[in-house]
Amino acid sequence: MAKDVEVVEQRGEFHGKDYRDPPPAPLVDADELTKWSFYRAIIAEFVATLLFLYITVLTVIGYKRQSDTDHGGDECGGVGILGIAWAFGGMIFVLVYCTAGISGGHINPAVTFGLFLARKVSLVRAILYMAAQCLGAVCGCGLAKAFQRAYYERYGGGANMLQPGYSKGTGLGAEIIGTFVLVYTVFSATDPKRNARDSHVPVLAPLPIGFAVFMVHLATIPITGTGINPARSFGAAVMYDKEMAWDDQWIYWVGPFVGAAIAAFYYQFILRAAAFKALGSFTSSSTL
């Protein structure tokens, strides 16, 4: 367990402040399966992802309907790309705020994967979170389809597709970088050491996470429609169920998982220097 000493100023004097990183989560924690809080967290992830997809997919469909000039729409009507980005970022802000104290507010298999690699969650929890998120996404899109079936089919069901003029490599790169930004923000906003060090600066963790989602959507909607969340892409593809929705589905899984892995490595082993701390602790114990 790594230990840092921080310097804190109190009334003009400097004092050492000890901080210890929380212990890493076990790879397999059988005790979790006996606790109601574990299943409550899984339910929270399912419901949060369901609500996330329901609201955001309806926003996308509503924009396409209002801007469809072939069916009486206005080319400049609807919320536009900016509004869609706000819908995704705003919903993440709201849902992370609501579920952070219950499940951690992942709502995204890529976030769960990154936290698993950083030993923040166990393998069992990670797998069941991802399953709940994907199932919630399917149900959320199913709810949107049930309420607006005609528009859902006509306007693509909010399914992610690689946009014309962009190669698969460009789409993959956009998903990797976009997910890196998101997961990097998650690590930074929820870092307990940062919270202890900057306790005088109140930061609401869901706020920067929601803004990260918003900014990434602005940049990548014209390229891939913006995945950065495999559950979001999977749920929309399952309910729309057209070949075009599945053609490049692998991009929306490989890209986010690679981006999450890079973010986890960068934050844990470079910014937090976990590898060097572990080596230092090992060297110190060897010399005793």
Instruction: Note whether 31 and 123 are within 8 A (CB).
Output: no
What is the C-alpha to C-alpha distance for residues 46 and 99, in angstroms, rounded to an integer?
A: 11
The model carries a pTM of: 0.86
Average the pLDDT over 220-239 and give the result: 96
Q: Which residue has the higher pLDDT, 1 or 118?
A: 118
Q: Which residues contact 254 (CB under 8 A, 6 or more apart)?
A: 172, 175
Q: 111-153: per-residue pLDDT in tens?
A: 999 999 999 999 999 999 999 999 999 999 999 999 998 899 9
User: What residues form DSSP beta bridges with 15?
Assistant: 8
53 or 287: whose pLDDT is higher? 53
How far is 288 from 4, CA to CA, in rounded Å?
A: 19
- 198 pLDDT higher than 70: no
User: SS3 letters for 188-233?
Assistant: HHHCHHHHHHCCCCCCCCHHHHHHHHHHHHHHHHHHHCCCCCHHHH
Indicate the Cα dihedral angle 232, 233, 234, 240, nearest 10°. 110
With beta carbons less than 8 A apart as the criterion, state whether 18 and 101 touch.
no
